[in-house]
Amino acid sequence: MKQTIGLLTKYFGDSVAVEPGLRGETFIKLKDESRIREAMELLRDNGFSMLIDLTAVHYPKREHEFELIYNMLAMEPLLRLIVKLPLKGEKPEVESVSSVFKTANWYEREVYDMFGVRFKNHPNLKRILMWENYEGHPLRKEFPLEGDNLHCYD
Amino acid sequence: MTDIKKEIDIKTDRMIVNMGPSHPVTHGTLHIVLELEGETIEASHTNIGYLHRGVEKLGEYRTYQKFIPFTDRLNYTSSINNNVGYTLAVEKLLGIQSPPRAQVLEVIACELGRIADHIVCVGINAVDIGAFTAFLYIFKYRELIYDIFSRMCGARLTTSYTRIGGVSRDLDDETIRMIRDFLTRFPSAIDELEALLTKNRIFYDRTRGIGEFSLENAIQYGYTGPCLRAAGLEWDLRKKMPYLGYENYEFEVPTGTRGDVYDRYLVRVEEMRQSVRILEQAIENIPEGPVIIQDHKIALPQKEDVYNTIEGLVSHMKLVMEGVQAPAGEIYCATEAANGELGFYIVSDGGTKPYRIRVRPPCFPIFSSFDEQVQGHMVADAVSILGSLNIIAGELDR
């Protein structure tokens, strides 16, 4: 794990910050969102061969409203690394990693569907769980839990 | 030499075939659109989301305990594995461990759930291909498991067996007798199943080489569980990253070589045998002691304490009204469910409700490879591939 972090700091310098997790996980915060594809390629070629999960968290009160979470797995030896990517703005756009990991295709569609984060160069960026004409993004914090229409509470 | 031009290229119109959303082989509500050239599949498009209930959104509005019933409805063929996976994640967030007896009971529950799940998957896959008899023979044993579940937790399907810090009920002697009885009868049932399927010429022809998937592709697509093992990688979280004391049990991890439907079937059958082995070891070595943690900030106190002591009453009231106080932070906890890696990513802001709860379902990445897998196969093969991937719509759409 130290090797990987060393590698990341070597290539990305100050834009990488290591955060210790609550129960022994390693979180890496990548501050430069334009280099996520590069980072994923670097990790994939250095042992982290599987992208286990890709999801997002919405923090409406922060400057960086969204945080993408790339959950990486190295198989030999077993290591888990969680790369966090904070994104600015209400409708952010970020480079797709579906060319690096095929599994990212559906995960990115789900993040787009649920949070409204757009992915550049994605082969098929459509809604996946909700239907096509649906308005709103359900997992955003301002989206209501209940209601018979598709409008959001003010 | 002159170039010989390809003069005739007979192409017929492509036929579009809809499978689903309601179709006998989808075993859930999925929609698959197949583009056929004759009987060969040229392209396939999948639509999911018919069973989307917003489980992750609902979880943000409920305390940690109240999310447990939602996990029953993720993978509903082995709901007990989801219960265990979720409570382990919350226990990791709280930094606690359930008592030794509870851990063994959870292992027993998990392995029974795994067997039930594999019975469904193998049995239904065989039915889709046309081997109805095998299904009838093996499904009887799922019924026995469900009888055990209903004694263990009072429900057959919506088990909600585990609690944060332990399990809801202890095993009684009658249940242990039933599990022992099941363990003596079940191995011969697997033999029976194998006798009907493994060397069955029709079954072999319908499954061998179908849906072949290379290991590199499987890793690229984020495969876990039996489908990854069938592609040839010995990868089992119970071995690689033991939880619940799985390191104390002797069992082997079966792997395949070609990653096709037949290999997935073989891996699942062998896993059932290994689960029986784990169960035999677990049922003989259940330690004495409580089944739930004795910390009344996390687990409900005994009913006698609630009625007779003021401390019990207050902690009961606080736990029911407010819930468990979790520290701020983020954790990811993964377990080996019947289908693959079931992970829970919990973001806590220090309250009694999760700020964000993410379920990493095993079959979501597996199903995303379906379009690529069926290309070039026949229509009937799409059915057997779909069955072998073990797609559970409840967990796919959450």
Please give the pLDDT value at position B276.
Answer: 92
Q: What are phi and psi of A68, to 5 degrees?
A: -85, 145
Question: Is residue A152 predicted with pLDDT exceeding 50?
Answer: no
Mean pLDDT for B278-297 is: 88
Pairwise CA distance, residues B217 & B368, whole Å: 12
Asked if B377 and B41 touch (Cβ cutoff 8 Å), the reply is yes
Q: In chain A, which residues touch B (CB < 8 A)?
A: 21-23, 25, 27, 49-53, 55, 57-58, 69, 71, 75, 78, 80, 82, 101-103, 105-107, 114, 127-131, 138-139, 143, 145
How many Cβ atoms from other residues are within 10 Å of residue B71's Cβ? Answer: 28
Q: Mean pLDDT across chain B, nearest whole number?
A: 87
Query: What is the Cα–Cα distance from B244 to B335, expressed in whole angstroms?
Result: 10
Cα separation, B364 vs B392, whole angstroms: 9
CB contact under 8 A, A57 and B327: no
Give B292's contacts (C-beta < 8 A, 6+ positions apart). Answer: B98, B99, B102, B163, B165, B166, B167, B168, B299
B13 three-state secondary structure: coil
**Residue range B300-345, pLDDT digits in tens:** 888 888 898 898 899 888 888 888 888 888 899 999 888 889 999 9
Cβ count near B27 (within 10 Å): 21
Give me Rg for the CA atoms of chain B. Answer: 23
pLDDT of residue B375: 85
Residues in A touching B92 (Cβ below 8 Å)? 23
Question: For B134-181, how does the pLDDT look when each residue is reduced to its tens digit (9 = 90+)?
Answer: 888 888 898 899 999 998 888 888 888 898 888 888 888 899 999 999
CB A23 within 8 A of CB B93: yes
CA-nearest residue of chain A to B397? A129
Instruction: Render pLDDT for B203-255 as a digit per residue (tens, 0 to 9).
Output: 888 888 888 888 888 888 888 889 899 888 888 888 888 888 888 888 889 98
DSSP reduced 3-state for A17: strand
User: Is pTM, for the whole model, over 0.90?
Assistant: no
Q: Percentage of chain B with pLDDT > 90?
A: 18
- Minimal CA separation from A73 to chain B, in Å: 10
CB contact under 8 A, B365 and A57: no
pLDDT digits (tens, 9 = 90+) for B96-123: 888 999 999 999 999 999 999 999 989 8
- Is ipTM > 0.90 here? no
What count of residues does chain B have?
Answer: 398
E strands within B83-161? Answer: none
- Grouping H, G, I as helix, E, B as strand and the rest as coil, residue A84 is strand
Q: What value does the mean pLDDT take over residues B34-46? A: 86
**Strand runs labelled E in B104-175:** 162-163, 166-167
pLDDT at position B10 is 63
The model's confidence at residue B4, banded by pLDDT at 50, 70 and 90, is low
Q: How much is the pLDDT for A150?
A: 55
What is the rounded CA–CA span in Å between residue B381 and residue A45?
34
Q: How far, in whole angstroms, is CA B285 from its chain's centroid?
A: 25
Residues near B185 by beta carbon (within 8 Å), at least 6 away in sequence: B141, B144
**Are the CB atoms for B386 and B369 separated by under 8 Å?**
no
- Give the model's pLDDT for residue B182: 92
Q: Are B122 and B116 in contact (CB under 8 A)?
A: no
Shortest alpha-carbon distance between residue B356 and chain A (Å)? 7
pLDDT digits (tens, 9 = 90+) for A4-44: 777 777 777 777 878 888 887 888 888 888 888 888 888 88
Judged by CB atoms closer than 8 Å, whether chains meet at A52 and B358 is answered as no
Tell me which chain A residue has its CA closest to the CA of residue B368.
A106
What's the sign of the alpha-carbon dihedral A25, A30, A34, A39? negative
Q: Please give the torsion angle defined by the CA atoms of residues B106, B111, B116 and B122, in that order, rounded to the nearest 10 degrees.
A: 150
Per domain, the residue ranges of chain A are: 2-143
Return the number of other C-beta atoms located less than 10 Å from residue B265's C-beta: 28
| pLDDT tens digits, A37-86 | 888 888 888 888 888 899 999 988 888 888 899 988 888 888 888 888 88
Provide the β-strand partners of residue A94.
Answer: A119
Class of domain A2-143: alpha beta
pLDDT, position B107: 92
Averaged pLDDT score across all residues of chain A = 83
